[in-house]
Amino acid sequence: MRIVTIIPALDEEAAIGGVVQAVSRELVHEVIVVDNGSRDGTAAVAQAAGATVIQEPQRGYGSACLAGARTARQADMLIFLDGDGSDDPAELPRVLHPILHGQADLVLS
């Protein structure tokens, strides 16, 4: 099962590197950071941390999420995390468990 994490980000230079690095590569095959028009070094920091970075010029969280989903077309499962660190990537095993064990189709945390 190919699992991809999508992180919409706008001016998250200070946090994005840590968020990307905290995503377990044992669970997740790819991390995509969608830079939604940042004026700081968000894209460069995310790429240096190991993320695939795409640009989405249409502002808005929904536009960034959709751009990430379109990029991750080969994924079997999408995980969305905020780029500011408010979502803890360490919680991914707990969130993914019900899906991976056929107990849920969608988990919100």
pLDDT tens string 35-78? 999 999 999 999 999 999 999 999 999 999 999 999 999 999 99
Nearest-10 Cα torsion for 109, 35, 2, 29: -100
Range of the domain at 85: 3-100
Q: How far is it, in rounded angstroms, from Cα 39 to Cα 82?
A: 18
Does 71 map to a domain? yes
pTM above 0.85, yes or no: yes
For the chain, the residue count is 109
CATH number of the domain that 74 lies in? 3.90.550.10
- What is the CA angle 26-106-87, rounded to 5? 60
